[in-house]
């Protein structure tokens, strides 16, 4: 039986793991390669690395980091952050990344989804969507790490992106991110029910029960979290044992 995936996310800035609250206030959370190896050992099903470095040297340092991670860990991982061209993708895949994640660049130029899917296969193209529930009751797409609002509804953009060839969607609720109050169950469930690709839920996971909720009510295929794993508030073996006892198929 296909299992639900638990995915620790490592935000990378200048080669270190960092974590903010509601997309701000960055704190240092350790060496990414050590953390990656630790999570792989603990039973993480996949890893996501999002590079938020803004320097011109970024591409070179990121590909070097990806190469080191690929040498070290024996589970799949996704890399995102500022990917815009086929060359960006190619360098990351050649250095051992399994998938790449795109966000702002794909929204501004949806054609890249089509091109990436054609050149590298849909299975390695993950679309990250940062979404926020506004006072009008709708979920909108945000860009540039949550700094820029668009007028696009999350469902519309997700549908279009799936038609263009994305293989998975990493959905982050900005309302929930960093709060540890639980995932955004409604929008996750709505997307998962309507789309043919797996949905990775992100933002708000604070305890094991939240993961149970997002896999059942939220209909998520995978759940991603960062700080609760980095600061050892939730240990992956305990989380998986809990889910297994509650009848969720997980890899133990």
Partner 1 sequence: MKTVIIKYNAGNIQSVLYALERLGVSAMVTDSIEEINTADKVIFPGVGEASTAMQYLRERNLDELIKNLKQPVLGICLGMQLMCMHSTENNTSCLGIFEEQVKQFETKEPAIKIPQIGWNSITSLKTPLFKGIAENSFAYFVHGYYAAKGKHTIATTHYIQDYSSALQKDNFYGLQFHPEKSAKAGEQIIQNFLAL
Residue placing its CB nearer to partner 1 in the complex, 38 or 140: 38
Q: Cα–Cα distance between 49 and 97 in angstroms, integer?
A: 10
**Which residue, chain included where needed, has tokens 């993708």?**
89
Residue placing its CB nearer to partner 1 in the complex, 10 or 70: 70
User: What's the longest Cα–Cα distance across the chain?
Assistant: 48
Q: Cα–Cα distance between 78 and 100 in angstroms, integer?
A: 5
**Which residue, chain included where needed, has tokens 């969507």?**
129
Residue 132 C-beta: closest distance to partner 1, Å: 25
Residue 45 C-beta: closest distance to partner 1, Å: 6
Residue 23 C-beta: closest distance to partner 1, Å: 27
Nearest residue to 153 (alpha-carbon basis) of 145, 161, 164, 144: 161
Residue 192 C-beta: closest distance to partner 1, Å: 8
Q: Exposed, middle or buried: residue 82 (CB in 10 Å: 0-12, 13-18, 19+)?
A: middle
Q: Cα–Cα distance between 29 and 18 in angstroms, integer?
A: 5
Residue 184 C-beta: closest distance to partner 1, Å: 19
Q: Which residues are catalytic?
A: 11, 130
Residue placing its CB nearer to partner 1 in the complex, 5 or 230: 5
Residue placing its CB nearer to partner 1 in the complex, 21 or 194: 194
Are the C-beta atoms of residues 173 and 203 closer than 8 Å to each other? yes
Q: Cα–Cα distance between 174 and 99 in angstroms, integer?
A: 23
- Which residues of the chain form contacts with partner 1 (CB under 8 A)? 1-5, 40, 45, 70-72, 74-76, 93-96, 98, 120-124, 167-168, 192-194, 196-198, 219, 221-222, 251
Residue placing its CB nearer to partner 1 in the complex, 143 or 214: 214
Nearest residue to 46 (alpha-carbon basis) of 164, 198, 189: 198
Q: What angle do CA 106, 112, 117 make, to 5 degrees?
A: 110
């Amino acid at each position: 039986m296909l299992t639900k995936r638990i995915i620790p996310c490592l935000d990378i800035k200048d080669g270190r793991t960092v974590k903010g609250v509601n997309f701000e206030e960055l704190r240092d959370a350790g060496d990414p390669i050590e953390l990656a190896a630790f999570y792989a050992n603990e039973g993480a099903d996949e890893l996501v690395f999002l590079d938020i470095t803004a320097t011109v040297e970024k591409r070179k340092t990121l590909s070097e980091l990806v190469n080191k991670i690929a040498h070290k860990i024996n589970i799949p991982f996704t890399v995102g952050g500022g990917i815009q061209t086929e060359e960006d993708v190619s360098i990351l895949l050649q250095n051992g990344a399994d998938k790449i994640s795109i966000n702002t660049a794909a929204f501004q130029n949806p054609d890249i989804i089509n091109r990436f899917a054609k050149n590298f296969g849909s299975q390695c193209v993950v679309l990250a969507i940062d979404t926020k529930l506004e006072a009008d009751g709708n979920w909108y797409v945000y860009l540039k790490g949550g700094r820029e609002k668009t007028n696009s509804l999350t469902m519309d953009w997700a549908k279009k992106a799936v038609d263009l060839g994305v293989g998975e969607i990493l959905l982050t609720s900005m309302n929930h991110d960093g709060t540890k109050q639980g995932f955004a169950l409604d929008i996750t469930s709505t997307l998962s029910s309507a789309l043919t690709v797996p949905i990775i839920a992100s933002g708000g996971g604070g305890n094991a029960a939240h993961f149970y909720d997002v896999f059942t009510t939220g209909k998520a295929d995978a759940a991603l979290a960062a700080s609760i794993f980095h600061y050892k508030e939730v240990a992956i073996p305990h989380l998986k044992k809990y889910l297994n006892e509650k009848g969720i198929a997980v890899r133990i």
